[in-house]
Structure 1
Amino acid sequence: MQTVYKKKSGIPASTGDNNDNIKYDMVVFCHLRWDFVYQRPQHIISRLAKSLKILLIEEPWHRPEQEGSRLVEVAANLHILQPNVYHIDEIAGILPQYTNKNTATGWFYSASFLPLLDYFDFDTVVYDCMDELSLFKGAPEKLVSQERSLMDRADIVFTGGKSLYESKVKHHENVYCFPSSVDRDHFSKALNGLAIPEDIVTIKSPIVGYFGVIDERINLDLLKETAILKPEVSFVMIGPLAKIGEHDLPRLHNIHYLGMKDYKELPGYLKAFSIAMMPFALNDATKYISPTKTLEYMAAGKPIISTAIYDVVRDYSEDVTIISNSGEFSKAIDAMLANNNVLNPTDYSDILEKTSWDVTVEKMQAIIKNTVK
């Protein structure tokens, strides 16, 4: 028998298809760990869980030192299954211990979970395409064909940005664009008397900062070259490494890596930023991205410098300074610092008032309700 681990104490898992404890309204398949960087899946699924009982299944995480898989209760209506197996195909073998096959909605964040689709009898299948995962470093070749099959069987496709929408709408008749939104109340805490965390308060100002995953999407050469040009400026990178190693990171006296931080702590770090940056590389992995952090930086009232990510350029070019090389990056920093490091937060109000995760989820739920078979 498997074990359900709540936040502090363990309780036995239920078995048997007729047990009420394992009847979920929605099963979510997610390639990102729930405890990883807090982003689109966490924002959307936590809100859906206010009215639906949800099981979120993560990718396999084989841990030989642990017996059985782990079910974590994040909230009364939200459980996270961490399968202790080698491959996605093996997850089907443990599912009877956690859920039955009759579930109203199947929600996919990655087509890699396609082998599990036939295990369930879903009324509605949703594909929330937040990234073009097939273009990411290390993506399996079969992911393209798996996505094609998933879209053939999906009733609804949501996309995390306009570029993704334009790509997917060619292959499905029921596609809706829902760019990542923002928890404005959370990030606007950076505008009040919030304390600045100790590991950044000691870093010399001015600070040009970034938070998010640090992976092949970050232009590390641009970061290094700009840091050389601006030795009096501190460049702070907050977030975990993914698919790159410590040896890949540029090391200079004015570049600081603070590691991964809890979502709750981010407003405090944002408060310490003089300028917020998005130093993305322009490559296959960033071709379709629509960075959530753009709006999060705005909610904190920070001036923003970004490389020419397509969705950022066409949606926010009047509000974000777009640069293409270290020279332009350096000049943009000088111009912003000459403006006393401050951008009036009301300058972003028109943008921020048009978006919220709550409204996004409400609209998604309405679409699902109208599409139910």
Structure 2
Amino acid sequence: MRWKEVEPPSIGKRRQNSLSSNSHGKANTHASVSVLICFSHLRWRFVYQRPQHIMSRFAATHHVVFFEEAVPTDAAEPWLEKRQEEGVQVLVPHLPDSYQGEQAISAQRRLLDAFLEDIAASDIIAWYYTPMSLPYSDHLTPRLTVYDCMDELSAFRGAPPSLVEQERRLIERADLIFTGGVSLFEAKRQLHPNVHPFPSSVDIAHFGAARTPQAEPEDQAHLPHPRLGFFGVIDERLDIELLLAAATQRPEWQFILVGPVVKIDPETLPKLPNIHYLGSKSYAELPQYLASWDVALMPFALNESTRFISPTKTPEYLAGGRPVVSTPITDVIRTYGDSGVVKIAQTPAEFVSAIEEALEDAQQQDRVWQLADAALSDMSWDTTWKLMEEKMRCVV
């Protein structure tokens, strides 16, 4: 086993800080704070979302370790990549291609144990985003185990067959369970006595920048209006047929999709002159794209993978001052259905009609912003983080 230090590349305007001084301005030393180990299926440098928002804030009070899923390596032996992001220590196990099954689990366990011994960790909080990390971490004896169930991962395409059983084990071990929305809370509350819903929140200041003039991104600048935009992961949750139908019915509208394509073949995505796939962008860049969209879209398919979602992009769009058109996702309806600034539509005809109404609403900017602000009242990741800490203190 060996260590390898890897320095992170520049990530534009996003905050970066050393382990000893984090983005929230508080000191972070091993001697005075506990170690919070976050096991995540999402990589820190993937789309910036719930894990990054929450863990970067916990770095104000804990030594936070973000342990990612293993990646293959050509090296002859396993090694652990270490780097720092926003006050968080990110660890990535690298395993030889030949390591599978129990051999891979044992290697990750040894890398984890060696790291914890190296930092002399004695007071551990285990935080899970994925139950699939349990096989190599179930020997730990944390004083608190938290399962932040942000999605129903078993419903996603490509989910490991063992995920359901591993989640059952994790729920049995957990002291505290958070869910990414009310629908997930309703699904999990019968399984554990200490479950609490924490729907997706928003960094209002960050996305609020879209309400002021922004430098136009080059790959979007040439597109005419009206512009209808989506940012996020493009996967099986996207309603491809709905997007194709709407773009076909309104060829003068420009449909802009920002984000990585994962778990689906890019060739299956609809290709029309007015549909534009701009690829992945950094978290810092998103307000620049959002600033010149006329309407923000959430064209989610209605299937098992979207049954329990509480999309983070809803409050992000609203913080940017854009009217929103969404398919009837349960948690979107519950939270924003009566907001007056989020329109719900299901069929292609309804979706096109809702966009037309939203385009009319967008002409009354002050009213849209007022409704959006009302919908976002008291909503922030800082509040979410503080409330989570309160729940944790009640357990320990």
TM-score range, shorter chain: over 0.9
Displacement of 1:197 in angstroms is 1.2
Write out per-residue CA displacement over residues 119-164 of structure 1, whole angstroms, 9 at most, x where no aligned residue: 3220000000000000100111211111111000100000010000
Alignment correspondent of 1:69: 80
1:134 is paired with a residue whose SS is helix
1:98 to 115, 122, 133: 115
Q: Report if the CA contact (8 A) 1:56-1:78 is conserved.
A: yes
1:256-271 aligned at under 5 Å gives the runs 256-271=276-291
Equivalent position amino acid for 2:108 in 1: I
Instruction: Kindly indicate whether the alpha-carbon contact (under 8 Å) linking 1:24 and 1:55 is maintained by their aligned counterparts in 2.
Output: no
| CA distances 1:65-104 after superposition (whole Å, capped 9, x unpaired) | 69733111114x4111111025561310212332236342
Q: Which residue number in structure 2 is paired with residue 214 of structure 1?
A: 234
1:325 partner amino acid: T
Q: Distance in 2 between matches of 1:84 and 1:24?
A: 26
Verify: 1:191 aligned to 2:211, yes or no.
Answer: yes
Question: In structure 2, do the counterparts of structure 1 residues 362 and 354 end up closer, same or farther at CA, with 3 Å as the change threshold?
Answer: same
Q: Which residue does 2:354 correspond to in 1?
A: 332
Percent identity of equivalent pairs? 42
Aligned to 1:14: none
Is 1:322 the counterpart of 2:344? The answer is yes
Q: Which residue of 2 aligns with 1:17?
A: none
Give the counterpart of 1:83 among 87, 93, 96: 93
Offset, 1:354: 1.9
> Which of 371, 380, 385 lines up with 1:347 in the alignment?
371
> Which amino acid counterpart does residue 99 of structure 1 have in structure 2?
L
The one-letter code sitting in structure 1 at the alignment partner of 2:80 is S
State the alpha-carbon separation in 2 of the partners of residues 341 and 223 from structure 1.
Answer: 24
The answer for unaligned runs of 5 or more in structure 2 is 11-29
Is the 2:234–2:260 Cα contact (8 Å) retained in structure 1?
Answer: yes
Shift of 1:272: 1.4
Q: What's the counterpart of residue 296 of structure 2?
A: 276
Aligned mates of 1:325, 1:331 — CA distance in 2: 10
Verify: 1:5 aligned to 2:3, yes or no. Answer: no
Between stretches 257-266 and 312-321, larger displacement belongs to 312-321
- Please say if residues 300 and 327 of structure 2, whose CA atoms lie closer than 8 Å, have aligned partners that are also in contact: yes
| Residues 24 and 95 of structure 1: CA distance in aligned 2, closer, same or farther (over 3 Å) | farther
- 279 and 102 in structure 1: CA distance in 2 versus 1, 3 angstrom threshold: same
SS in structure 1 at match of 2:309: coil
Aligned-partner residue type, residue 96 of structure 1: D
Cα distance, 1:30 vs structure 2: 0.1
Alignment of 1:358-369 (within 5 A): 358-369=382-393
Deviations 1:148-190 (A, max 9, x none): 1100010000001000000110000001111110000000000
Determine the C-alpha separation between the residues in 2 that align with 1:351 and 1:293: 14
Q: Describe the SS at the equivalent of 1:232.
A: coil
Asked if the contact 2:323/2:362 (under 8 Å) is kept, the reply is no
Where 2:116 maps in the other structure, the secondary structure is coil
- Displacement of 1:28 in angstroms is 0.5
**Counterparts of 1:161 and 1:8, CA distance in 2:** 33
Pair 92,342 (structure 1): closer, same or farther in 2 beyond 3 Å:
farther
- Aligned-partner Cα distance in 2 for 1:138–1:24: 35
Deviations 1:263-311 (A, max 9, x none): 0000010011100000000000000000000000010110100000011
Secondary structure, counterpart of 1:126 in structure 2: strand
| Alpha-carbon contact 1:27-1:107 (below 8 Å) kept | yes
2:65 is aligned to: 55
Q: What SS does structure 2 have at the residue aligned with 1:180?
A: coil
Indicate which of 323, 327, 331 corresponds to 1:311.
331
Which residue number in structure 2 is paired with residue 170 of structure 1?
190
Pair 1:340–1:289, CA change in 2 (3 A): closer
- How far the C-alpha of 1:211 sits from its partner, in A, is 0.1
Which is further off, 189-198 or 213-222?
189-198
Question: 1:113 and 2:133 equivalent?
Answer: yes
Are 1:228 and 2:248 counterparts?
Answer: yes
Letter in 1 for 2:383: V
Assess if the C-alpha contact under 8 Å between 1:217 and 1:280 holds in 2: yes
Task: Give the letter aligned to residue 123 of structure 1.
Answer: R
In structure 2, distance between residues paired with 1:219 and 1:66: 43
Q: CA deviation at 1:8?
A: 6.5
- Residues 340 and 92 of structure 1: is their aligned pair in 2 closer, same or farther, counting only changes over 3 Å? closer
Residue 200 of structure 2, aligned match among 173, 177, 180 = 180
**Is the partner of 1:158 in helix, strand or coil?**
strand
Query: Aligned residue for 1:15?
Result: none
Amino acid at match of 1:366: E
- Name the aligned partner's letter for residue 48 of structure 1: F
Matching residue's letter, 2:376: L
Question: Match for residue 268 of structure 2?
Answer: 248
**Matches of 1:223 and 1:29 in 2, distance apart?**
35
Give the corresponding residue for 2:22: none
